[in-house]
Structure 1
C-alpha cells in the first residue's frame, strides 16, 4: 500500500508539486463548479475554457511557455469573450448561450491557428492538454494565489450569488447589482480556468470544475455540504489520477478527469439525492 499510494509523493518532488496543485485547484474550482451547476451554466465553463486559448497562444508567442505571459494572455482573452458575449446578448436578440458558443468557437479556432502557424505540434499539445506533472514553483504560486482570490471573492459574493441562483427577482427587488455580481462571478470562472489550464490544459481544465460538482449534487442537499463534497471529490480525483498516471505511464490530465468522471457515473447510479437506483 505504501509503494502504491505514498511512495510516489515521498520520493519525487514533481509528484508533490502536482498534488499541491490539485489541492489548490480543488479549493478554487469546487465552488465555481457548484455555482455554475446551480445557475444552469454548466456549459459556460466549457466555452470559457476554450476562450482562453488565443490569449494563451499570444502569450506563448511573446514569452514561450513562460507562465506569466500565458496566464495573463488567457485571463485577458477569457474576460474579453465574457464581456463581448454579455454585450451581444444585451444588444441583440440572440440568447447568451448562443453568443457564448459563437465567441468560444471563434476563440478556439484563432488560438489553434496562432499556435499551429508559429509553434510546433508539441507546443499545441502542451497548451491544449497541459501537464500537471510539469508544474513548477512559479505555476504553483499562481494556482495557489488564484485559489486564495477565489475564496475571498466567494466570501464577498456568497449571499448575492445564492440569491441570484434561487430567487433573482428578490435580488432585483432588494436593489442588488445583479449584472455586477454576474460579471464578478464570470471573472472568478475565468481565473480558475487560467489556473486549470496551467496544469490540465485548456481542453481539460473544466473537467475538474464540473465533474466533481455534478457528482456531489447526487449526495448533498444543502449548499455548504455540496461545495465541501465537490472539493473532496476533486482532490480525491487528483490524487488517484496522479497515482494512476505515475504507475501506468498515462497522461496525467486525462487520468485525473477520467477519475472524476468515474466518480460522477457512480454518483448517478448510487447517489442518495436523485440517484438512479435510489429513484
Structure 2
C-alpha cells in the first residue's frame, strides 16, 4: 500500500485531501501540530510535529512515498509570518522528504502567483515553489483559483442588503470545492504533472456572484460598483495602517479580485448548491 503524508491536514483543504487519499486506497498519515480529539481526521495515523521546528520532523517521513502540503498561514497567529510558515516550514518539510528519500512532493500554491509578487503571502509561497522545483525529486505544484468558502463574502454582503464590487464587475473566477480540488490533486500527482492551474466547473463574473447571492437569498438585487481606484488605494494603505493579521489576507484578496482568476475547470460540485446549503443552515 502506498503511503502519503498530508501537511496542513487540519485545514479546510487538508481534511479533504486525507479523505480523498484514503478513498483511493492509500495509507494516510496526517501531519498536525496538536491532535484534537473533538475533530477526528480521516487518516490512518496522526503524526504530531511542528513544521517550523525542523528537529521535530526527524525521520517522520520514513517509508512515505508522497508528501502533499497544503500548509500555509491563512490568518497570522502565534507570531508566525508567511515567511515562517508558507516558505520556511514547507522548506523544512522538503528537506526532511529528501532525507527520507520521498519520491514525490506536491504543493498547493496560488493561481496567477507571477502577477502577485508584491503580495507577502504569495511571495513566500513562490519562493518555496522555486526551491521545490529545483530539488532532486518529482514535484507537482497545484494552483487553485479560489475556494467556495472564499465566496461566502458575497453571500454575507447580500445578506446585509448590498454587494459592493470594484470596477465593472466583469472579472472572472471559477472557484472550486475542497473535495473537487482534492480529487484533482490526486489525479495530477498520479499523472506526475509538474503544474496544474485549476478551478471549479462554473465560471462567474463578480457581478454573477452578486446575482447568485441575492437569488439564493430571495432578496432584492442591490449592487454598488466602486471605482477600481478605491481598491488600488486600499492596497497602498493597508501595509501602513492595518495590523498584519488584517493587512496580509486583505492584500491577497484585493489583489486577486483585480484580475481574472479562472483555472482549468474540473469537478462536479456547484457554487449555487453550496450557497443554498449555507443559507438553509443559516435560516434553520
TM-score, normalisation: structure 1: 0.28
- The higher-RCO structure (CA 8 Å, 6+ apart) is 1
**Higher helix fraction: Structure 1 or Structure 2?**
1
